[in-house]
Amino acid sequence: MIRNTRRLFRKKQGKHPYLLNNDQISKPQTAVSENLDQNIYKLSEVYDACSDVVFRRCQLFGKTKAAIIYIEGLSDVEGIEDYVLAPLMQEAEAESQTIHELLELKLPVSKMKKIYKLADCIESISSGNPVLLYDGGSHAWSLGLAKWEKRGIEEPIAEGGIRGSREGFSETLEVNTSQLRRIIKSPALKIQHMKVGRFTKTTVAVSYIEGIADKGLITEITKRLERIDIDGILESGYIEELIEDNPYSPFPQLLSTERPDIACSSLLEGRAVILVEGSPFILVAPTSLISLLQSQEDYYQRFMMGNLIRWLRYTFSALSLLLPSLYVAILTFHHEAVPTALLLSIASSREAVPFPAIVEALLMEIIFEALREAGVRLPKQVGSAVSIVGALVIGQASVQAGLVSAPMVIVVAITGISSFMMPRYNAGIAIRMLRFPMIFLAGTLGLLGIMLGIIAIVIHLCSLRSFGEPYLTPLAPFKAEELKDALWIAPLWKMDTRPHLTGDSNTYRQSENQEPNQGKGRPST
Amino acid sequence: MKRLIQLLIACSSMLMLGGCWDREEVNDLAIITAAAIDAKENNQIELSVQVFVPQSISSGGSGGGGGGQSGGAAHTIVRFQTGSNLSDALSKLQSKVPRKIFFGQCKVYIFGEELARRGIQEHMDFLLRYPEPRERASMYISEGNAKKLLELQPPLERYSAEVARELSSMHIGMEVPLQDLDEMLIGSGKAAALPYLGLLPPDKGEKKIQGIPYILGSAVLKEDKMVGTLSGKSTRGLLWIRDEIDNYTVTLKLEGEEGEISVQALTNHVRLIPHISDDKWSVRIKARTEAMVIQNGTNLELSNPDSLRAAEEALESEIKKRIEVVLQQVQHEMKADILNFGRAFYRKYPRQWKENEHRWSDLYPELNVEIAVEANINRQGFIDKPGGLPEEAVKKK
C-alpha cells in the first residue's frame, strides 16, 4: 500500500519543453534597415491580424518618406497629431539641415529615444510609445507619447484606517513608483525595472533604499525574479507564489499591501519592495510573522494606545485560531474544566441540538466562511444585504430551530470578528485555514490535540524563512533589542535602532535625545 | 514534500485510531450537582445523587433570562441506589440514569449522620481515588438522613447543593474541601470537623419542598468516626482557635451600663504557642483582634478612652468565653484534636512530638491551655456620640 501511495505522489519524470512562442520566433533581431518599405513590411508581418495597429505614412518636411506606427488606445492620438505630424508635415525652410537635425529641432516631444533594432521597435509600440521610421535612417525614434485610461488614486479598500494617509496604490506602475518617490525624496531610493512574462511583458520594479537595504537581499530578489519564465503575470500574487521561500506553508512569506505609507516604512527598515504593473498590491520582502500583525496605526496613534491595540490584536489572533477548537475540546472531553454555572447554561442550550459539538463547530465555521466569501464576490449593491440576511438566518433561525446551540453561534461570531482584526488579509487567511485542522484535533484528542497542533504550528513557524530572515524574528532567534517593536511599541523617540535584517545593517535611524520636553516643562531660552 | 504528505496521512490515521475513546457530549451527561451517602441496614449504604435537568432552564433560545425559578419544572431530580459500597452503588445507579453519571462538577458531598458515626474512611478512599470527583468539593455531614437535603428545591438558588456551598463560603461555619478533610484525618490530629447541615423548613405559604439546607454547627470526627456535634456558637469558638474566623459581630453588655454595644471584626489573628517544660505540655492561645463599633445602645461616648477601654475589655472577655466553651467540649468531652494543637507541637518540638506521638490521645485532654486575647476597637463608624441621643443624656466619664 505504501508503495502505491508513493507512486501517487511521485513527481512526473522528465522536463516538459517550454517552447519559444510565436512572438519570439517572429521577433526580428535584425537592425532597422535603411529602407523604409522593408521595415514596414517586416513590422506588418509581425503585426499580422492586429487591426488596432496603425501604420501612418507621411512625408518628412516634404522630402523624405516616413511612417508612424502606434497602437490605438495606447498612445496619445492628439499628441501625435499636434506635436509630431503637424511639425513634420511642414515644408523645410532651409535645405542645408539634415533630417536628424530637423527632427531634433522641430519635434516638441520631451521623451525621444533612438532605437536600432526592430525588436526594440516592437517593444516600444507594444508599450504605447509610437515609433517613427523614415527612409534613409539606420535607426528609428521611439516617442514618449504613451497614454491610456487609468484609475485615479483612491483610498485603499482592503486596508482601512482612521489616521494616516488615505492614498492607496493603483494599477499603474509609474503612479505607484511616483507615490514612493513623493514620500521618500532622497535619491538613495532606487527603483529597478525588469520585464517578466513572455506574453504580458509585465514591468516589475524592485525598490529599496541604498545604504539601508542589504545588497545581498537585492541580488537575491533580482535573481529570483529573473528565474521566472512564464506566460504572464497578472497580479503580484503570481510573483509572490513564484519567489517565496517555502511554497507549501500556509503562512504568507511576503507581506502584500496597497498602502504607500506601509511600503515606505518597510523601505526605511531596510526591506525591499516589489511593485508589479497592473496590481495595486505591492510585496515587501523579507517579512516576519510579527510584521504581519502590525498595523500602520500602531505607530500613528500615541504609543500607549498603540500598545493596547496591538496586544488586543495579538490576543484576538490567538482566539481566532483557537476559540472554536477550545470550545469543542472542552465540550467533548473536559467538562470539569468550566465553571459549573457556565456548563449548566451550555448544557441546557445544547439539549436539543442533534449534532456532536465538533460537527456543529465545523458546520458553523464552514457556513460562516461561505457567507464571507459570498459577501466578497457578490455585486456591491446586494452584497451587504445578502450577508446580513444570511447571518440572521444562520444566527437566529438555526438556534430557534434547535439545529445549532446559541453558545456555538457566539463562538463563531467572536472568531469571525477576531479574524477581521488581522491587519493583513493574507495572514488572516492562514489562520482561517488552520482553524479547521485544529477543530479536528480538538474533537479527537481534546486539549491534548490542541497542544499538539500548537506545537506543530510553532515548529513550522520556526523553520520558515523569508528571504533568509527567520520568520519568527525577533522572538526566535531572540533579539532583545528588537522586542521594542514586537512585544510592545516603544515610544517613537526611543526607537533608535533599525530592525536588523539580513547581512549588513545601518544601525541607527535617528539621533539620540529625541525625547521631547527634556527641560521639564520650562520653555527653552 | 512527498515525505510530508506521507507523514500527514500516517498522523491522521493515528487520530482515527487513538481519538474519541473518552469522548462524551454534554447532551449525554447527567451532571451531578451533589451527592449524599447514607447508611442502610446490613452494612449497606445508599448513594443519592442530585442530577441537573438541562431542559429546566429555557431551551431552544426562547430568551434565556428568568425562566425557571417560579412555577417551571424542577431544576434537579434525585436518584438513589443502595449498594455494599460507593462504587457498587454507583454502578447500579448508572442503570437507573439514561445518561452517563458525571461527578466532575459535583461540588457538594453530604454524609448522613448515621454513616458518619459508622466511619467514612472507605468512602473517602473512593472519592480520592476515582478521577472524577473534585478535590475542592465541599464536604458536609447532615443531621439525620442526607438524602432529604438533595430533594429540596430552594426558592433562591437553582438547587440545594448551591445553597449549602454559598452558605459555607461565607465562613459562618467551617468550610472543608475534600482535600483538607483528607489532610485532617491523616494529619497529626487524626480528627476532623465538618459543617453540620440541618434542614430549614419552609415558611408558611411556601411549598413543603422549598426548604433549604443550612449550617447548624459542626460535626466532629475522631479518626474517621463522628463523635459529636458543636452548636453554631461553639463553632465560632472553634474557628477562633483554628484562626479561620473571618468576620464576626459580637454584642457586648458592659458592666454597670444599660443597653448593649455591637462590634464587628476588622482583622483577626490567632497564634497557638505550644510549650513543653519538665514534661508538662501546655498551649497558649494568643488572639488579637481589631473591631469597629456598628451599634451603640448605651449612653456612653466611645471617643472617651475610659469607655472605650471598658468596651474593649468586654470584647476580650466575650471572645475568651467563646473559646473556653469550645475547649471544654472538644478537648475534655470529645477528646478530638480538631484545634491543630498537635500540629503546633509537631512544628515547634518535632523531636518530642515523635517520641510522644503515640500517647498524644492521652496528652491532649490533659493539656493546660491559657488564653490571652487582645482586642482593640479602633473605628467608631460615622458618628462618635450615641446616635439620636440628646447631648445632655450622653454620659461623660
Contact B59 A444 (CB under 8 A): no
Distance from CA of B140 to the nearest CA of A (A): 19
* pLDDT at residue A411, rounded to an integer: 93
Interval A423-440 mean pLDDT: 91
Q: Pick from B2, B20, B26: which is nearest to A335 by CB? A: B26
* DSSP structure class, residue B395: B
Residue whose cell numbers read 527603483: A191
- Cβ of B26 and A449 within 8 Å? no
A373 burial level (CB within 10 Å; 0-12, 13-18, 19+): exposed
In contact, B26 and A343? CB cutoff 8 Å: yes
What was the pLDDT predicted at B256? 81
Residue A488 has pLDDT above 50, yes or no: yes
- Quick one: DSSP state of residue A234? -
Instruction: Assign A88 a pLDDT band (cuts: 50, 70, 90).
Output: confident
**Using beta carbons and an 8 Å cutoff, which residues of B are at the interface with A?**
1-2, 4-6, 9, 15-16, 18-20, 22-27, 29, 31, 33, 52, 54-62, 64, 102, 104-105, 107, 132, 134, 158
pLDDT over 70 at A455, yes or no: yes
- The answer on pLDDT for A24 being more than 70 is no
> Among positive and negative, which fits the CA dihedral A300, A167, A256, A180?
negative
Q: Which of A9, A248, A356 has the CB atom closest to B25's CB atom?
A: A356
Which residue is associated with the grid cell 506566460? A231
Which DSSP category does A117 fall into? B
Q: Is there a contact between B60 and A343 if contact means CB atoms under 8 Å apart?
A: no
Mean pLDDT of chain A: 86
The three cell numbers of residue A300 are: 500613528
Nearest Cα of chain A lies from the Cα of B186 at a distance, in angstroms, of: 27
Nearest to B184 by CA among B233, B220, B146, B136: B220
Going by C-alpha positions, the residue among A414, A462, A420, A458 that lies closest to residue A438 is A458
Grid look-up 502505491 returns: A4
**Cα end-to-end distance, chain A, whole Å:** 86
Residues 322-361 of A with CB under 8 A from B: 331-333, 335-336, 340, 343-353, 356-357
Give the number of beta-carbon pairs within 8 Å between A and B.
103
Alpha carbon distance B303, B383 (integer Å)? 10
H-type helices in A47-146, by residue range? 77-79, 86-88, 99-106, 118-126
Alpha-carbon distance of A497 to A520, in angstroms, equals 25
Q: Which three cell numbers stand for residue B387?
A: 446616635
Measured between alpha carbons, how far is residue B318 from residues B8, B232, B254, B287, B325 in Å?
A: 74, 16, 11, 12, 11
Minimum mean pLDDT range among A364-373, A484-493, B1-10: B1-10
Does the beta carbon of A463 lie under 8 angstroms from any beta carbon of chain B?
Answer: no
Q: Quick check: bond before A286 cis, omega within 30?
A: yes
Kindly tell me if the per-residue pLDDT of A335 is higher than 50. yes
Mean pLDDT of A349-366: 91
For residues A92 and A166, the answer to whether their CB atoms sit within 8 Å is: no
Q: Is A389 on the interface with B (CB under 8 A)?
A: no
Q: Which of B27, B64, B132 lies closest to A350 in CB terms?
A: B27
Q: Which long-range contacts (CB under 8 A, 24 or more apart) does A150-157 make?
A: A150/A175, A153/A179, A156/A258, A156/A259, A156/A280, A157/A258
Among chain B residues, the shortest Cα distance to A340 is held by: B105
Give A347's contacts in chain B (Cβ within 8 Å). Answer: 26-27, 29, 31, 52, 54
- The answer to whether B139 touches B124, Cβ cutoff 8 Å, is no
Residue B276 near residue B352, CB atoms below 8 Å:
yes
Residues of A within 8 A of B19 (CB-CB) are 443-445, 449
The full length of chain B comes to 397
Q: Which three cell numbers stand for residue A163?
A: 489616521
Distance from CA of A463 to the nearest CA of B (A): 14
Q: Which of B16, B22, B55 is closest, CB to CB, to A348?
A: B55
In a mutagenesis test of the A interface, which of B26, B103, B166 is the best target, namely the one with the most A β-carbons within 10 Å? B26
Question: Do residues B348 and B262 touch, judged by C-beta distance below 8 A?
Answer: no
Percent over 70 (pLDDT), chain A: 92
- Per-residue pLDDT tens over the stretch A29-41: 678 888 888 888 8
Strand-pair partners of A466: A469
C-alpha dihedral sign at A72, A77, A80, A81: positive
Burial tier of B159 (Cβ tally within 10 Å: 0-12, 13-18, 19+): buried
Task: Return d(Cα A76, Cα A146) in angstroms, integer.
Answer: 6
Look at A47-51, A389-393, B303-307 and tell me which has the smallest mean pLDDT.
Answer: A389-393
* Grid cell locating A360: 456543529
pLDDT category of residue A96 using cuts at 50, 70 and 90: low
At B385 the pLDDT is 82
**Which position has the higher pLDDT, A233 or B21?**
A233
* Of residues A9, A11, A335, nearest to B5 (C-beta): A9
Residues of chain A with Cβ-Cβ distance to B58 below 8 Å are 348
Supply the pLDDT for residue B70. 42
Give residue B64's pLDDT.
41
Whether A344 and B102 lie within 8 Å, measured CB to CB = no
Cβ of A348 within 8 Å of Cβ of B58? The answer is: yes
Give the per-residue pLDDT at B393.
Answer: 81
pLDDT tens digit at each of 397 positions of chain B: 788 888 888 877 776 665 566 788 888 999 999 999 999 989 999 999 999 998 887 644 444 444 444 445 688 999 999 999 999 999 999 999 999 999 999 999 999 999 999 999 999 999 999 999 999 999 999 998 999 999 988 888 888 999 999 988 888 888 999 999 999 999 888 899 999 999 988 887 777 778 889 899 999 999 889 999 999 889 988 999 998 888 888 899 888 888 899 999 899 999 999 999 888 899 999 999 999 999 988 888 888 888 889 999 999 999 999 999 999 999 989 999 998 899 999 999 999 999 988 889 889 998 999 999 999 998 888 888 888 888 888 876 5
Q: B242: closest CA among B343, B392, B335, B150?
A: B343
Q: How many Å apart are CA A43 and CA A63, to the nearest integer? A: 23
pLDDT band at A111 (very low <50, low <70, confident <90, very high): confident
Alpha-carbon distance A419 to A427, whole Å? 9
Query: DSSP per residue over B215-261, as a string?
Result: EEEEEEEETTEEEEEEEHHHHHHHHHHTT-----EEEEE-TT-SSEE
Which pLDDT tens digit goes with each residue over A211-226? 899 999 999 999 999 9
Contacts of B26 in chain A (CB under 8 A): 331, 335, 343, 346-347, 350, 357
State the nearest Cα–Cα gap between B126 and chain A, in angstroms.
18
A441: contact with B, CB 8 A cutoff: yes
Amino acid B63: pLDDT = 41
Query: Using a CB cutoff of 8 Å and minimum separation of 24, what contacts does A333-339 make?
Result: A333/A446, A333/A447, A333/B22, A333/B23, A333/B24, A334/A446, A334/A447, A335/B24, A335/B26, A335/B29, A335/B31, A335/B102, A335/B104, A335/B105, A336/B104, A336/B105, A336/B132, A336/B134, A337/A447
Q: Is residue A251 within 8 Å of A459, Cβ to Cβ?
A: no
